[in-house]
């Protein structure tokens, strides 16, 4: 939030001194210090939840270059320590020892991992119960999963289920990753490998999946089924599991260990497991979002047609990148080419038969920076919304926002001006994501939805300032696209049965 405020302040100062370039420079700063860290943060969280710690550490190192706040300065070191432990490197213990003295929540997580690599789950349980205390555990939510596993490893199954029930609402508010991890631990140590296998689909490393499935089989009284996986993990030397597995001799659980209340709670959570999967760790990506990829491809093809318009237009593009002013005759030639390709022009031209312009204009862009900003936004926002709405509904929402915003811009378009760009459609995708998150928040509050909604508010505020201080940018096109996307997303999501 503070970073976004600084960026807005910078844009205001630039507008006072260099109004012609304030929007472009402010937008570039916003992409570098807000968008890139956001992408890095989301990717790091997914990789860490999948136990791909080495890749997560690399991603976190990149993110902290542009956002060294909120614990991100030490987070890559924590992930690096986990990666070293995963590869059986003893120096991981030294990293955890240094990190445990930090005042952040990562320091406590590092201390928990020291118990973990030593296989001292009894010690971890005592530390939480005596030093942290269960009454204060809600103040340190990242410790809950460690404590649940300590209870499972020390055969305190009913206490584990009761603890899960006690902190259920808190885990849900933290987000689906933490909630699913809690359920994974509980169902594992209660000996339900079928549910565990369901929770692990598409997530985590193969070795991590082997650990949880082998543990669930052992807890179910079937150690012979788990033995091959246990041997493979021990041979790897992975410090995150080695001492824990070595300590298990004749280790098994049976359902008779559970109270009637524990059985009732497990029955209550089980159908929820089936509905909630897949988790955030299998969240949509660009490569699994064909409609978003096709839309980006169409925009790129239209831009290639612009470049093929002639050497004057190529020079215009190069000058735009270099920040060099372009002669008026070149600008006029470039605009004429855009009009020929289908840019939105004066009202009379459109209503006299050239209605296709309200569609073609959504795929044309004035220059390469215009294209890159819009395609970056579509690549970031599109996969999530496409996954939530489905391909057909996502396509319908995109064109409703894009074409609808062009129609509204047309009403007030200067007879000598033109309008073009995917900005209205991209803002529509942002509006659709906002309504999806609001509906999810209404059904089940979570920190994930809260963070994303806060970010959307920041984006809308930044975009509004950008529009108001940049005369060439259409405020009506952006705000109408946002509203149309929100309304279309609301209707389509409700009809989908959310």
Active site residues: 423, 478
| Burial group, residue 324, by CB count within 10 angstroms (0-12, 13-18, 19+) | exposed
| Distance from C-alpha of 49 to C-alpha of 237, rounded to nearest angstrom | 21
Q: Which residues pair with 419 in a beta bridge?
A: 344
| Burial group, residue 249, by CB count within 10 angstroms (0-12, 13-18, 19+) | exposed
Element counts in the chain: helices (H) and strands (E): 27, 0
428 close to 405: Cβ distance less than 8 angstroms: yes
| Distance from C-alpha of 375 to C-alpha of 382, rounded to nearest angstrom | 10
What is the residue-wise DSSP string for 25-86? HHHHHHIIIIIHHHHHHHHHHHHHHTT-HHHHHHHHHHHHHH---TTTTTHHHHHHHHHHHH
Q: Left (φ > 0), alpha (ψ -120 to 50) or beta: where does 71 sit?
A: left
Q: Is the peptide bond before 278 cis (omega within 30 degrees of 0)?
A: yes
234-237: long-range contacts (C-beta < 8 A, 24 or more apart)? 236/88, 236/207, 237/87, 237/88
Give the length of the chain.
Answer: 498
Question: And the tokens for 371?
Answer: 């294209």
- Nearest Cα neighbor of 493 from 453, 431, 446, 435 is 435
Our CA dihedral for 382, 383, 384, 388, rounded to 10 degrees, sits at 100
- Which residue's entry shows tokens 């565990």? 196
Angle at 228 between CA 227 and CA 233, to 5 degrees: 95
| Distance from C-alpha of 117 to C-alpha of 430, rounded to nearest angstrom | 43
Question: And the tokens for 377?
Answer: 């936004």
Q: How far is the CA of 446 from the CAs of 34, 443, 454, in angstroms?
A: 22, 10, 12
């Amino acid at each position: 939030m503070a970073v976004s405020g600084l960026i807005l302040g910078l844009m205001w100062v630039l507008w006072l001194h260099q109004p012609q370039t304030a929007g472009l420079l402010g937008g570039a700063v916003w992409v570098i210090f807000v968008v890139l860290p956001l992408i890095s943060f989301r990717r790091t969280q997914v990789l860490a939840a999948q136990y791909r710690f080495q890749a997560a550490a690399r991603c976190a190192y990149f993110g902290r270059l542009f956002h060294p706040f909120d614990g991100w300065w030490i987070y890559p070191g924590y992930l690096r320590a986990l990666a070293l432990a995963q590869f059986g490197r003893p120096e991981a213990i030294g990293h955890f020892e240094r990190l445990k003295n930090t005042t952040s929540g990562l320091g406590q997580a590092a201390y928990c991992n020291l118990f973990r690599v030593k296989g001292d789950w009894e010690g971890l349980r005592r530390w939480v119960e005596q030093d942290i205390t269960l009454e204060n555990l809600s103040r340190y939510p990242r410790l809950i999963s460690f404590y649940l596993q300590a209870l499972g490893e020390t055969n305190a199954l009913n206490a584990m289920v009761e603890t899960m029930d006690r902190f259920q609402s808190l885990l849900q508010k933290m987000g689906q990753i933490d909630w699913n991890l809690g359920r994974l631990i509980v169902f594992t140590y209660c000996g339900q490998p079928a549910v565990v296998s369901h929770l692990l689909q598409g997530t985590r490393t193969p070795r991590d999946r082997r650990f949880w499935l082998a543990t669930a089989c052992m807890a179910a009284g079937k150690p012979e089924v788990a033995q091959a996986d246990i041997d493979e993990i021990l041979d790897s030397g992975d410090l995150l599991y080695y001492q824990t597995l070595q300590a298990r001799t004749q280790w098994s659980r049976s359902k008779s260990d559970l109270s009637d209340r524990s059985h009732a709670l497990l029955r209550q959570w089980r159908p929820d497991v089936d509905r909630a999967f897949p988790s955030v760790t299998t969240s949509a990506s660009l490569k699994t979002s064909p409609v978003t990829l096709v839309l980006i491809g169409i925009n790129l093809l239209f831009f290639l047609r612009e470049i093929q318009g002639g050497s004057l237009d190529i020079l215009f593009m190069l000058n735009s990148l270099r920040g060099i002013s372009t002669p008026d005759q070149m600008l006029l030639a470039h605009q004429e080419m855009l009009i020929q390709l289908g840019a939105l022009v004066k009202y009379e031209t459109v209503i006299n038969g050239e209605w296709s312009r309200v569609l073609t204009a959504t795929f044309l862009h004035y220059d390469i920076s215009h294209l890159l900003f819009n395609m970056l936004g579509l690549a970031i926002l599109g996969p999530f919304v496409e996954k939530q709405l489905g391909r057909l509904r996502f396509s319908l929402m995109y064109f409703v926002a894009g074409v609808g915003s062009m129609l509204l811009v047309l009403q007030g378009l200067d007879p000598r001006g033109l309008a073009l760009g995917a900005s209205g459609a991209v803002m529509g995708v942002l509006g659709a994501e906002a309504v999806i998150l609001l509906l999810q928040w209404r059904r089940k509050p979570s920190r994930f939805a809260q963070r994303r909604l806060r970010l959307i508010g920041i984006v809308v505020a930044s975009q509004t300032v950008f529009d108001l201080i940049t005369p060439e940018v259409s405020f009506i096109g952006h705000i109408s696209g946002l509203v149309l996307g929100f309304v279309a997303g609301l209707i389509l999501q409700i009809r989908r049965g959310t």
